Structure 1
Amino acid sequence: MAKPISVYDLKGLNCPLPVLKAKKRLAAMRPGSRLWLETTDPLAVIDIPAFCSDAGHQLLETSASSGGHRFLVERGSNA
């Protein structure tokens, strides 16, 4: 049985804090681990995908949520 995916609440934070905090949180996780990021920063729809691409993480899903966005990120193996 898959373990539940953690949710990291980054709502209310503005660029660059969501990416910086996500980077730190993902660095502490094992490769292949997944994390939901919840944001309200409008720039997150640009910043989070760019961060994942640059850092070697996989962006598995993006969805709009009330007042913001959710991103499902899988930690890369060489990140």
Structure 2
Amino acid sequence: MNAGRRGIIFLAGVLISAAVAAGEASHRPGVFWPHAGVVCDPSAGFCAGTGGMSPWLTGRYLGQAARDALEERSVRGGRV
């Protein structure tokens, strides 16, 4: 298989994976998108932007308690 074809197959796999992940998130109760580029999951306790999970966005859309909990998990080295 030539390199060009492998690249196309790889890209297709990435796009399919992203579509599946987006579909799963959109079916999860409570998940919302307050504006373009930001997704929030209140049951998981975080919001994420283009740079990943964000304490600032979490505080803005889920409240200070959620922000504090997210920061505490990251300080402890736990799964954020």
TM-score range, shorter chain: under 0.3
Larger Cα-atom Rg = 2
TM (norm. structure 2) is 0.26
**Higher relative CO (CA 8 A, sep ≥ 6), structure 1 or 2?**
1
Bigger fraction of residues in strand: 1
Question: Normalising by the residue count of structure 1, what TM-score does the alignment of the two structures yield?
Answer: 0.27
